[in-house]
Amino acid sequence: MGRLPDRKQLASIVSEVTRVMCDTVFVAGDPLERGESLCRRLVMISMQGDPSIIVVLAVDDDGAHALASSFFSCAPRDVTKSMIDDVIAELLNMVAGHISNALPHRCTLGLPRWITLDDLGRKNLDFDDAILFRSEGRIDLGLWLLEEKPTWVEPPAHRSHRAHRAQRAHRSHRH
């Protein structure tokens, strides 16, 4: 992820949002924690640009309740699923917006959506170069930045040449 700010700077950018919102800061995570952080509830938002990035927030039930409780200033027992969904979507939108602002180019942000580990596995993502952050504080959160792998697109000149050859071959078979 060479086109992104370094991990320490990204952790600071993310923490600007979470420090105010839920008194939590993020630090670069240990790569060995990867498996554990993905065994939680996952919410993602896509950032289409150059590079295109997927930001994934991993949260367990206790963390989700604590986050909503902190955001809505209510007791964890009074938190509803709707409140959790709202606060996590808002947090993810704010984090992605701050990351986008730190990039030298603009990204188009998608909408937050709940996903599974299988959903992530089906995407064309670079897990080898992923960035993991973990929260420090009373709320346990994981945050992943995953760059979409570039897909090879045949240049128009090659497509038209190949199409022309196919047309000739088709005509020769008809005669």
Ordered structural domains, the chain, with CATH: 7-174 (3.40.1550.10)
Distance CA 48, CA 113 (A): 15
Residues contacting 131, CB < 8 A, separation 6+: 1, 4, 7, 10, 28, 144, 145, 146
How large is the average pLDDT for residues 82-88?
92
Q: Phi/psi at 21 (nearest 5 deg)?
A: -75, -40
Lowest mean pLDDT among 68-82, 107-121, 159-173: 159-173
Asked whether the beta carbons of 47 and 161 are under 8 A apart, the reply is no
Asked whether the beta carbons of 25 and 136 are under 8 A apart, the reply is yes
The two structure tokens encoding residue 31:
């790569």
Q: Is residue 90 packed enough to be buried (19+ CB in 10 Å), middle (13-18) or exposed (0-12)?
A: middle
In DSSP terms, 125 is beta-bridged to 148
Torsion from C-alpha of 79, 85, 88, 90, nearest 10 degrees: -110
Q: Record the pTM.
A: 0.74
Range with top average pLDDT, 75-89, 91-105, 116-130? 75-89
For residue 170, the model assigns a pLDDT of 46
Dump pLDDT digits (tens) for 159-175. Answer: 555 555 555 544 554 55
